[in-house]
Chain A
């Protein structure tokens, strides 16, 4: 009797394991056929929109989605939160699963993904509906393009500008800086040491990744004209490192590791332990929460020795996967959101982001706000990251490690730039082929 039950049990187990592997494919194709049929009948087309914003961000997305769904009755959009969106997207693309119709997209990834034909170009839609590329930030459009084709529209644009603590600058009797020299002087005057303990840092040098921005201010470019090799091992790169060296070692306005591990609430800028820093508009809502306790201002990034301006533009956009079954409808939603003044403004006010659609920026909401204005001015000259699929690897594995050694006085400026160039060029070459 006992043996029989155990035999039965193990057989059931075995069958259930085998069953688990089998029929998932057919379920997929069924649902695919069903959703494909929707468009033909009178029912609204259902669109799936993927994004990786949860919490507040999810609510902001849902505000836009609801507004769109209410505005017409042909298309119904549904936001689906994918915490690990890129991995999920790749799994769906490779396993032949059902693709979303729209994806919320970190624009800088385009140069890696677009060559693999996973996104649908929108040039034809743009021409049909007479949407003008020039209404958007040119750099953002460039970042979403590959090989002469445009793959999406920008939803947000951002760039770093200089945040300063008004109270600390007033106490030190300095004005917000406009040049490297003024920045250095302001930093010296706002820095406070107590013996060997740094109490207030004048200016944050925590993020080596901002080298690109400083290099532009020094009049340089990260990559050469061919777009295949680094271009910072020269006097422009040297000027940046000399400036950092002065701030860190001579003026001692910062200490390596000062801000590491400080989250929101213990953020050095919030607690008055940092007078000035470069950061982006995404911090505005966080800092505004502190009201009177944190009186801060924003100015455009100071110019370098020869008056060159520099900041790096980033931001997010919408793209349509090649595997989507409703590309036309997805475009309707994209156009409604990203290329319409009122809706772009609704999005901006809901999410407190700068929209990529320029006409929306003429609104007093942006023009009359002393905290938004400097960012709009910065975006006028901000440049996107170089469009090389290996660019981020070059920064992370070659440039930044070398700069870290420099900041800790383990390496002189010449070696730092030479090593970063040699390793960087190799990494760019290794990661160049994407097709």
Chain B
């Protein structure tokens, strides 16, 4: 008994020693900056010359800043389409790629490849693909007699284009996570369901989907965070245009902070964004926790 206690104590010590470097890095590069940003959001910090306490001025200005709320509407529009499609497509792909067939690994790799490219490089190639006159997309459409739009230049198609490009780039990694999830579903559940005469759809509905709930929760949470923080693709593909329809909160934060040197105001904008992400993640958690997974 006594020796066991000593062993536990020793293990505890070792555990603390092992997590210390990570926790130190986490504190230095995450916690301290976040606390500082919160403080800065109550100042008029401009990096170069001033850092005076202005109390709630930044937040008051923010609530009157119509452009900031426009960017929020933009990313919410983006999220509402992007997140469900993201889950649907990556799950669909994962189920296809989960078959044990010859060459399936090759297809998995192909589907994962877009994830490996940098967002900026991929977006640059997409600008060319989406060119109204000489781009591949409109070239293919014209084969079918359809005159494609100026994808990135028109207000109706600019955001859908960004959704398309970001989906293309993000479903690969989510597919891998779903494949891992699918392979964790025990075979005996399917076997017994088959014995009971359950259809393929019923097996998906009552076994696969509930079993994948933790995976879906992970993917949807990551998708919410990345969707609300949309920046790279919007910056490269459309520069926030046309008519501000693809401008995002992070784009504005970047502009206010680094171009206009209003770090205090940018910090306030960033904090409101962080709170919004927190709220949406909590809602997501509620939805996903509604039913506990079977087994």
Contact = CB atoms under 8 A, between A and B. Distances in A.
Interface of A: 3, 6-7, 10-11, 13-14, 17-18, 21, 86-87, 90, 93-94, 112-113, 116-118, 196-198, 255-258, 260-262, 266, 389-390, 392-393, 396-397, 400-402, 404-405, 408, 410, 423, 426-427, 430-431, 434-435
Interface string B215-259: 000000000000000000000000011111001000000010011
A260 B153 contact: yes
Contacts of A198: 133
A260 B61 contact: no
Interface stretch (B14-22, B113-121, B175-183): B14-22
Given A13-B21, A17-B21, A257-B153, 19 more contacts: A6-B14, A14-B20, A14-B24, A18-B24, A87-B258, A90-B261, A112-B261, A113-B48, A113-B261, A255-B133, A257-B131, A257-B150, A257-B151, A260-B131, A397-B244, A397-B247, A401-B244, A408-B155, A431-B260
B66 interface: yes
A401 B18 contact: no
Contacts of B135: 261
B189 interface: no
Chief secondary structure at chain B's binding surface: loop
8 contacts: A7-B17, A10-B17, A14-B17, A116-B49, A257-B152, A389-B260, A404-B155, A431-B262
Given A13-B21, A404-B243, A112 B260 contact: yes
A10 B24 CA distance: 13
Given A117-B49, A430-B65, A260 B21 contact: no
Interface of B: 14, 17-18, 20-21, 24-25, 28, 46-50, 61, 65-67, 127-128, 130-135, 147, 150-155, 240-244, 247, 255, 258-262
Contact of A261 (B130, B255, B259): B130
B24 A17 contact: yes
B255 A393 contact: yes
Given A13-B21, A430-B61, A401 B128 contact: no
Contacts of A86: 258
B265 to A, nearest CB: 8
B239 to A, nearest CB: 8
Contacts of A113: 48, 261
Nearest to B25: A17
B17 to A, nearest CB: 5
A117 B48 CA distance: 8
B154 A405 contact: no
A298 to B, nearest CB: 26
A197 B48 contact: no
Contacts of A87: 258
Contacts of B154: 256-257, 408
Contact of A260 (B150, B255, B259): B150
A414 to B, nearest CB: 16
B67 A423 contact: yes
Given A90-B48, A408-B242, A261 B152 contact: yes
B120 to A, nearest CB: 14
Contacts of A260: 127, 131-132, 150, 152-153
B127 to A, nearest CB: 4
A75 B19 CA distance: 52
Contacts of A423: 66-67
Contacts of B132: 255, 257-258, 260
Given A11-B17, A255-B150, A423-B66, A93 B130 contact: no
A430 to B, nearest CB: 7
A7 B135 CA distance: 60
Contact of B261 (A18, A116, A261, A396): A116
Contacts of A390: 260
Nearest to B238: A260
Chain A CB within 10 A, most for which of B18, B243, B255: B243
Contact of B243 (A7, A14, A401): A401
